[in-house]
Structures are given as C-alpha cells and as structure tokens.
Amino acid sequence: MRQIIVDQEIFDRFPNFKRGLIIVSHVENGLSDETISKILNAEIEERTGVNLLDHEYVKAWDSVYTNLGVNPNKFPPSIKSLLKRVVKSGGFPFINSIVALFNYISITYLIPCGGDDTDKVEGNLRLGISKGNEIFVPLGSMASETPVPGEVIYFDDKTLNVMCRRWNWRNGDFTKIQESTTRLVINIDGIDSVPRSVIEKARDELAELLTRQCRAKFTTDLLDVNRRIVDIAL
C-alpha cells in the first residue's frame, strides 16, 4: 500500500493549506474531444479580457511564494501562468482530455490543479521540503536539474524523482499525463483565503467530468492540517 503524504513542515508554515484529491484507478484519455474542447474554450472566452491576476485566490499563492523566498513573477504559480496565457494569447493548446479538464477546473475556480501518472511512481507521492539531492527533469525536457534546498517539491520518495517544483510552478516530465495514462492522482490545491468548500466543489465537478467524458473510476479525498496522509491502492 502506498500513500499520498503532505509533510508536517508544510502545515507548520501553512496551516490553511488544503489539497483535494481524485485518485483514478482507470480512465480513458484521448488526444482530442470536441465536447471537452467546447467546455474549455467557453471558459477561456469568459475569462478573456477580465483581470483575474489580482483575485484573492491568485494573490494568495503570490504571498506563499514570497514567504518561501521565491519571486512569483519570475516563477509564477501554475494558476497565474494559465491566466497570463489567456490574457496574452487567448488560451492554450488542447494537450489531451484529462489535461484539458483540469485546466478548465483551474481557470474556473482560480486554483492550481494538476495530475500525475502513478504507474511511473515507485514510492509514496510526497509534498515536502527539498534537501537538494532530488532529481528534476522539466516537462518536455531531457535535461536533469536539482531543486534548491528548502524548496517545496512534490516527489516520489523512493526514487527522489520530482513531479513538481516550487509547489505548483513546473511539472516534471516523468509522470506527465499521456494518452496511454490509465491511473493517476489529481491534486486541487487551496491556501489561505480559499475555503475548503471551494476545493471540494472543484474536485467533485472534475470527478464528474472525468466520469462522463473519460469513463473514469476513482475515489476522492482531501488532505489538510488534520489529515495529512492517505493510503492509495494504485
């Protein structure tokens, strides 16, 4: 039995952090889907021309990054990157059905959302503080780099391969969601002013969309300061 773990150090510094989870045991992904494209594009169109970078949910992550000694403009949180792409170019490409759906949820609720192929992970999926000996290969790259010691990372605690650097800034390549992905864990994150109810609503809407559009089988959960570990049977 493996686990999803948020280390106590994270909650010591950020007690209001909460992470919604969708633990998917089977899914049918696709490189295109007209219905999902319409859902995503409609939300992008609604967001175009609206300044959401100053929304309290987005600014909350700026504050977290600053607290960690990270410049949120140089290393923007994932939700900020998505919104900047909407403002600059009117959207982003359709990668595959699952990625499109969690991008839709992210810009709808203004919260970070992402997923990892659990068949590529050997140990526990852990959110913790980097020691500086972990391995990170950025999405779309083959070049390896090392996180800065003290950085918040999401990683495989057996191989020390990093799934995401600077909390939700940049994804690693080794657990990227592909058409062949059938098992994964999706994270929906909130902090500070983002209430638990918003995370639960976003999680449950995404789960329903995955069921309807991708025939997903899953369980849902939520980690917070009172429950920082969950067992998974993937």
Q: In tens digits, what is the pLDDT along the chain, a chain of 234 residues?
A: 899 999 999 999 999 999 999 999 999 999 999 999 999 999 999 988 888 999 999 999 999 999 999 999 999 999 999 999 998 878 888 999 999 999 999 999 999 999 999 999 999 999 999 999 999 999 999 999 999 999 999 999 999 999 999 999 999 999 999 999 999 999 999 999 999 999 999 999 999 999 999 999 999 999 999 999 999 988
Q: Check: CB of residue 17 under 8 Å from CB of residue 168.
A: no
Which pLDDT score, from 0 to 100, does residue 42 have?
Answer: 94
Strand 2-6, strand 125-129: pairing? parallel
Residue 136 · residue 146 · CB < 8 Å: yes
Answer whether 0.95 is exceeded by the pTM: yes
- Provide the pLDDT for residue 117: 98
Torsion sign over Cα 131, 136, 138, 139: negative
Note the pLDDT of residue 48. Answer: 86
Q: Provide the pLDDT for residue 181.
A: 98
The angle subtended at Cα 81 by Cα 34 and Cα 210, nearest 5°, is 35
> Fold for domain 2-232?
Phenylalanyl-tRNA Synthetase; Chain B, domain 3 (3.50.40)
- What are the φ/ψ torsions at residue 211 (nearest 5 degrees)? -65, -50
98 φ, ψ to 5°?
-65, -45
Indicate the DSSP class of residue 73. T
Domain extents for the chain? 2-232
DSSP-derived 3-state class of residue 150: coil
The distance in angstroms from the start CA to the end CA of the chain is 8
Of 25, 56, 35, 14, the residue nearest 212 (C-alpha): 35
Closest Cα to residue 108, out of 42, 54, 31? 42
Query: For the chain, how big is the Rg over CA atoms in Å?
Result: 16
